[in-house]
Structure 1
Amino acid sequence: MSPTDSMFLTVEARQRPMHVGGLHLYRPPPDAGPDYVHDLYRQWTSVTEVAPLFRKRPARSLISMGQWGWEEDQQFDIEHHVRHNALPKPGRILELLALSSRLHSTLLDRNRPLWEAHLIEGLADGRFAIYFKIHHALVDGISAARLVGRVLSPSPEERNQPAPWAARPPTPQPVSEPELATEAGGAFETATSALRSALGIAGDAAGIPKVLARTVKRGLRDEPAPVSFSAPKTIFNVPITGSRRIAAQSWPLSRIRRVGKSGGATVNDVVLAMCAGALRAYLTELEALPDTSLIAMVPVALNARDLKREGGNAVGAVMCNLGTHLPDAGQRLAAVVRSMTDGKEALSSMTPLQILAMSALGTGPLLLQGIPGLQNLARPPFNLIISNVPGPRRPLYLNGARLDGMYPLSIPFDGQALNITCTSYASEMAFGLTGCRRTVPHLQRLLGHLDRALTDLELAVQAVA
C-alpha cells in the first residue's frame, strides 16, 4: 500500500470515517414489475466471482513492521457488503437523504473488504436509489466514478449487466514490437527503463527544496499555491463528530457553461464561484462571515503513470481564494478565475512528484487538527475542500433503469466540517454536500443559496456584456 493510501487508514477515527460515497437515483424501465429492485438485489448477491479490488482487506503485522498492506479476505461474505433497504413513508427525497446520511456516518469494518452497496426502494415517485461507499485507501473520487461507468450502459435495451464487483475476463492486449524482442533485449529495455525512472525520480526529489522555497514564498504573499497561510477561522474549522448530514441537487450544465463563456471562466471556475456565493450567503445568515476571503482546497487529478506507480490515489492541490468578502457576484467570479489561473501556473512549473510533495505540505496540517486545542492556536490550512469530478457525458442505464442523478459524497475532517464535491452527468452538474451534523447547521439551506448564486452570476455576466 502506498504511503498516501495508508494515510487514510492511519488517520481514520470514529469522528472521521475515511470513505467516499455516491448516491444514485434510478427510474425503472416501463416494463419493470413490483419485484424489480428485489430481483436486482438477488442478482447482485449471487455473484460468485468477485473482482480482486472488492476482495482485499487491510492488514498489518510484525512481518510488515506495522505498515498497512492488503490481503485477500478468505471468508468473503457478499451479503454483508450488498444490502436491501426500504424508505419509510411518505418516501420523499428527504427520507432518502436522511437514510443516506446515517449510512455515510458509520465506519466500514476493517476485518472485511472496505465497501458497501445499499439498494433502496420505497420512493413515492416509483424511483429507487443506490448508495455506495468505499474507503479512500482503495480508490479516489475519480476512480470511484469510473467503477460506476464500467457497469452502466448507454442503451436502455441492455439487461443482465454484471454487478460492479463482478470479476471481468481480462481484456487481451495487442502485443507491441518491444514485447516481441528477444529475452535478452527485453531485459535490457526493462533495466534501461528502470534506470531512467530512477534518475527521473532522483532529479525530481533534488528539485524539491527549490520548489518548497518558491511555494512557501507564494503562500506568504497570499499568492495562489499548494500552501496557504491566509485562511480565516470559520464555523467549519472546528472539531467534528462522526455523525453526518448530506444534501444534494443538480443544475443544468448549459447554464454554468453560458456563465463561463460570458465571464471568461472554466466550468470549474463557475462551480467554485457558485460555492463562494452560497457560502457567503449561508455564513451571513448565521452572522459568521469572516472579513477576509475563505480559502478552498481544490484537488487536481494527476496521472498515476507520471508518478512511476500504478493505482491508488494521485492528487495534487490548489488553494483557491473564493472572494467571499466581495459582495458582487461578478467580482467573486473574477477573483476565482484569477486565483485558479495563477495556481495552475504555479503547478505547471513542477513535476508530478513535486506537486504531490507540495500538496502534502499544504494539506498535512489536517492530520494535526484532531489534537485538542490546536484549532484555537493556529489558522486552518484552508476552510473547506471543493472538488469537481468529471462524470459520464451521456445518459446511462442499469438493467434498463435510467440513471436520473448521481451525487458524490465525501469526507469532512477535524477542522474541516464541510465538504462540497461535484460531478457532471449528461446535461447536469450535481452537487453533493457532506457536513458534520452537529457542527454545520441547516446544511440543506446551502442548496437554496447555490441556486441563487448561479442566478446572481448569470445576471452579473449579462450586465457586463
Structure 2
Amino acid sequence: MALPIDPTATGFLLAESRTMPMHVGSLQLYRKPEDAGRTYARDLYEQMRSDSTDLAPLFLRRPHRSLATAGQYTWVPDEQFDIEHHLRHSALPKPGRIRELLDLCSRLHGTRLAHERPLWEAHVIEGLRDGRVAIYTKMHHALVDGVSAMRLLQRVLSDDPDERDMLPPWAARPKRAKPADESADRNLVEVTTNALRTAIGISAEAAGMPGAFIKTVRRAARNEAAPIAFNPPRTILNQNITGARRFAAQDWPIERLKAIGRASDTTLNDVVLAMSGGAIRRYLLELNELPDEPLVAMVPIGLKAKESHLPSADGGNAVGMVIAQLGTHLEDPAARLTSISDSMRSGKEALATMTPTQIVAMSAIGMSPAILLPILGARGSLRPPFNLIISNVPGPKNTQYFNGARLDGMYPLSIPTHGVALNITCVSYADDLCFGLTGCRRTVPHLQRLLTYLDGELDALEKAAGV
C-alpha cells in the first residue's frame, strides 16, 4: 500500500544528486566478547543476514512516483527486497588503522543510495589491527532525522553484556499487546472530541503563522538568532561541492565540557559550539580565509514527536533550527563562549514563542535555499543560508552491548550540501561526546586538522574557565 511522503522528505528526495547524496550515517566500534572466535565478524554478518527474513516496514519503503500519483512521491513496499544488497561484509587493508576505517567510511558515505530500492545500507567491517569490529550504516534523510536514527539504534542495544539473540535495527519487532481495556476507554465521544481539539489547534497555529514569520524576519534582519539568516559571510566552506566525502571522528570526555559549562554558566551545547567556532577560526586563519564578520551555524533543535505529530521512533523528521553566531571574529575563547551563549539563549527565547508546527515551518523557510536551489538548478547563485551545520544528538547514557560485543564509540556522518560544505555532528555516549565531521573532499582541504584544532580549543576553554 502506498503511503504519502511529507513535504520535508520530498524536498530531500528532489534535492538529491550525484554530487549531493542526502543520507545520514553512523559508525559504531565494537569490542568483541571474550569468547569470540577468529571468525567473529563473519559470524556476526551471517547472523544479521539470517535475522533479516522479517523486516520492519520502515526498512522496506522505497520512493515511487508515476502518473498514477500525479508525479508526487509516495512510499511503496519493495516487493523484490534483497538483503545482500543492503547488508554487506567488508575488510580493511593493512595495517588496519582507524585511518583506513575512516577512509572506507568516507568512500561509502559519498555513494548515493538507489531510489529503486529501500534507502538504507549496513556494512560489517573487520580488519582493525586492535581486533575490534566496526559497523557503518546509512539511511536516507527522507526516512529519518538524526534523533530518529539514534532511537532506531538504541532500541537494538542493551546494557546487559550477557544478552544474546538480539536483532539488527531493520528486523521487525514483536508487536506489544494492547491493554485489554483500551478499546473500552476510547469511545466514540472521546475520538470525536480529540479530533475536534486537533482541528482547533491546527487552525490556531495556522492563524498565528504570519505573525511568527514577521517576528522571525525581523530578528534575522537585526542579525539576532532565529531560524532564518540574511547576511552570513561567504567563506571557502560556502561553494558548490563534489560527491566525494572526507570523514573525521574523535571523542572527548563529556565531563570536561560540562565542567566548562558549570564554570561559565553556559550549556553543554554552548561549549560544543564554542569548540567548533574556535576550531573553524583557526582552520580559516591557517588558510588565510577568515572573514571579518562572524560565521553563523545552523543548529538543529529536536522537537518532541508527540507535539510535532511525527513519531520519531518510526522514522520521519521532527526538527526545527536556530541560526547561531559562532564568534569567529573574537580571539578570546571566553568572549567567544559568552557571545555564543547569548546568541543561543536569544534563539531559544524566540522559539519559545512559537508552537512546534510554527517552528518546523519557519525552519523549513530558513533551510529552503539549501534545498530549493539544487532542485531548481540555481546553486551558487545566492549566498548560502548559513556557513555550516553543527548539531548535538543525545545518545545512550550507559555502556551498551550488541550480542555481547561492547560498543566503544559511535560517530555520526551527516550531509554537506551545495553552499554548505561542512557538517559537524556530535553524539553523546556514556562518558564521552563523539564528534563526526563530514565534508566535501575537495572543498574542505585537510579536514582532519579540525580534530587537532577542536582539541586545542577545548584546552583553551578549560584554561579560560579556570577548570
TM-score (normalised: structure 1): 0.96
8 A Cα contact 1:388 1:421, kept in partner: yes
1:353 CA displacement: 1.0
Provide the residue aligned with 1:427 in structure 2.
431
8 A Cα contact 2:28 2:135, kept in partner: yes
Provide the residue aligned with 1:50 in structure 2.
55
Provide the residue aligned with 2:286 in structure 1.
285
The yes-or-no answer on 1:254 pairing with 2:255 is yes
The aligned amino acid for 1:39 is D
8 A Cα contact 1:239 1:369, kept in partner: no
* Alpha-carbon distance change, 304 to 166 in structure 1, aligned in 2, over 3 angstroms: same
Q: Which runs of 5+ in 1 are unaligned?
A: none
Provide the residue aligned with 2:141 in structure 1.
136
1:176 CA displacement: 5.4
Q: Deviations over 1:318-363 (max 9, x none)?
A: 0001100000000010011000000000000001111111111111
The yes-or-no answer on 1:294 pairing with 2:307 is no
Provide the residue aligned with 1:125 in structure 2.
130
Provide the residue aligned with 1:194 in structure 2.
195
The yes-or-no answer on 1:102 pairing with 2:103 is no
SS of 1:228 mapped into structure 2: coil
Which whole-Å CA distance do the structure 1 matches of 2:394 and 2:79 have between them?
Answer: 35
Provide the residue aligned with 2:121 in structure 1.
116
The yes-or-no answer on 1:158 pairing with 2:163 is yes
* Alpha-carbon distance change, 367 to 163 in structure 1, aligned in 2, over 3 angstroms: closer
Provide the residue aligned with 1:383 in structure 2.
387
Provide the residue aligned with 2:229 in structure 1.
228
User: In the alignment, which of 439, 458, 463 is matched to residue 462 of structure 2?
Assistant: 458
Which whole-Å CA distance do the structure 2 matches of 1:72 and 1:342 have between them?
Answer: 44
Which whole-Å CA distance do the structure 2 matches of 1:367 and 1:167 have between them?
Answer: 33
Q: Report percent identity of matched pairs.
A: 58
SS of 2:300 mapped into structure 1: strand
SS of 1:207 mapped into structure 2: helix
Q: Deviations over 1:137-172 (max 9, x none)?
A: 111111111111111111111122112211111012
Which whole-Å CA distance do the structure 1 matches of 2:15 and 2:349 have between them?
Answer: 31
Provide the residue aligned with 1:320 in structure 2.
324
1:374 CA displacement: 5.4
Which whole-Å CA distance do the structure 2 matches of 1:456 and 1:100 have between them?
Answer: 31
Q: Which runs of 5+ in 2 are unaligned?
A: none
1:174 CA displacement: 2.6
SS of 1:356 mapped into structure 2: helix
1:173 CA displacement: 3.2
SS of 2:450 mapped into structure 1: helix
Which whole-Å CA distance do the structure 1 matches of 2:61 and 2:286 have between them?
Answer: 46
Which whole-Å CA distance do the structure 1 matches of 2:272 and 2:202 have between them?
Answer: 35
Moved over 6 A (4+): none
1:258 CA displacement: 0.3
Which whole-Å CA distance do the structure 2 matches of 1:215 and 1:189 have between them?
Answer: 37
SS of 2:212 mapped into structure 1: helix
8 A Cα contact 2:296 2:325, kept in partner: yes
Provide the residue aligned with 1:11 in structure 2.
15
Which whole-Å CA distance do the structure 2 matches of 1:160 and 1:429 have between them?
Answer: 29
Q: Deviations over 1:64-93 (max 9, x none)?
A: 211111111111111111100000000000
The aligned amino acid for 2:43 is D
Which whole-Å CA distance do the structure 2 matches of 1:170 and 1:421 have between them?
Answer: 33
The yes-or-no answer on 1:329 pairing with 2:330 is no
Residues 69-108 of structure 1 aligned to structure 2 (within 5 Å) = 69-108=74-113
The aligned amino acid for 1:288 is E
Which whole-Å CA distance do the structure 2 matches of 1:199 and 1:175 have between them?
Answer: 31
The aligned amino acid for 2:202 is I
The aligned amino acid for 1:423 is V
* Alpha-carbon distance change, 408 to 309 in structure 1, aligned in 2, over 3 angstroms: closer
Which whole-Å CA distance do the structure 2 matches of 1:103 and 1:175 have between them?
Answer: 47
Provide the residue aligned with 1:212 in structure 2.
213
Which whole-Å CA distance do the structure 2 matches of 1:25 and 1:227 have between them?
Answer: 37
Which whole-Å CA distance do the structure 2 matches of 1:84 and 1:309 have between them?
Answer: 33
The aligned amino acid for 2:174 is P
Which whole-Å CA distance do the structure 1 matches of 2:378 and 2:158 have between them?
Answer: 50
8 A Cα contact 1:121 1:128, kept in partner: yes
Which whole-Å CA distance do the structure 2 matches of 1:7 and 1:369 have between them?
Answer: 11
The yes-or-no answer on 1:173 pairing with 2:202 is no
Which whole-Å CA distance do the structure 2 matches of 1:57 and 1:85 have between them?
Answer: 25
Which whole-Å CA distance do the structure 2 matches of 1:398 and 1:195 have between them?
Answer: 45
Which whole-Å CA distance do the structure 1 matches of 2:86 and 2:135 have between them?
Answer: 13
- Cα RMSD for the two superposed structures: 1.4
Q: Deviations over 1:408-432 (max 9, x none)?
A: 0000000000000000000000000
User: In the alignment, which of 40, 45, 55 is matched to residue 36 of structure 1?
Assistant: 40
1:373 CA displacement: 7.0
Provide the residue aligned with 2:453 in structure 1.
449
* Alpha-carbon distance change, 93 to 310 in structure 1, aligned in 2, over 3 angstroms: closer
The aligned amino acid for 2:397 is R
Provide the residue aligned with 2:246 in structure 1.
245
* Alpha-carbon distance change, 175 to 218 in structure 1, aligned in 2, over 3 angstroms: farther
8 A Cα contact 2:15 2:372, kept in partner: no
8 A Cα contact 1:197 1:308, kept in partner: no
Provide the residue aligned with 1:266 in structure 2.
267
SS of 2:362 mapped into structure 1: helix
8 A Cα contact 1:369 1:415, kept in partner: no
1:175 CA displacement: 4.7
Which whole-Å CA distance do the structure 1 matches of 2:204 and 2:63 have between them?
Answer: 33
Q: Deviations over 1:227-255 (max 9, x none)?
A: 11221001111000111000000000010
Q: Deviations over 1:285-335 (max 9, x none)?
A: 111001010000000011232234545111101000110000000001001
The aligned amino acid for 2:267 is T
TM-score (normalised: structure 2): 0.96
Which whole-Å CA distance do the structure 1 matches of 2:372 and 2:65 have between them?
Answer: 23
Which whole-Å CA distance do the structure 2 matches of 1:306 and 1:68 have between them?
Answer: 25
Q: 42-51 or 445-454, which moves further after superposition?
A: 42-51
Which whole-Å CA distance do the structure 1 matches of 2:109 and 2:358 have between them?
Answer: 33
1:282 CA displacement: 0.5
